[in-house]
Structure 1
Amino acid sequence: MGVTGLARWVNAPTTSLDLISQNIARNHQGQARGKWHLSVKSFRSTLSAIPGFQVHSERTMCALTMNDNVFVLVEDPVAPSRADLLAQQLPEGQTPIPLTGPGAPKHYCKTFLTLNPPGALEQLLSQLRARWASVRQTSGANQLSHTAGQQLTVDGLVYSIGTDFVVRAGNVILAGGAVKGMLLEAEYLPLTAMHRSTDGTMELLTNLLVSILPNIPDAKTAAVTMSDSIWEEVLWDREQEEEEQANPKPPETDDINKVFVSGDEDMVTSKKGEWSGVDRDRRSAFLIIGALKSEGLL
Structure 2
Amino acid sequence: MKHRILELYSGIGGMHCAWNETNMPGEIVAAVDINTVANDVYKYNFPDTNLLNRNIQALSPKEIQKLSVNTILMSPPCQPFTRNGKYLDENDSRTDSFLYLISILDQLETIEYILMENVKGFECSTVRNIFMEKLKECGFVYQEFLLCPSTVGVPNSRLRYYCIATKNKNWSYKTKPEIMRALPKTYATPYSLDLIIEKNIEDKYLVPDKMLRKANLFDMCYKDSRRSCCVTKAYSHYVEGTGSMYTDATPEYLELCFKRANSFEVGSEEFVNALKELKIRFFTPREVLKLMSFPKTYTFPEKISRKQCYRLLGNSVNVKVISELLLILFQQ
Q: Same fold (TM over 0.5)?
A: no
- Larger RCO: 1 or 2 (CA < 8 Å, sep 6+): 1
Instruction: Name the TM-score, length of structure 1 as normaliser.
Output: 0.32
Instruction: Name the TM-score, length of structure 2 as normaliser.
Output: 0.30
**Which has the larger share of helix?**
2
**Which has the larger share of strand?**
1
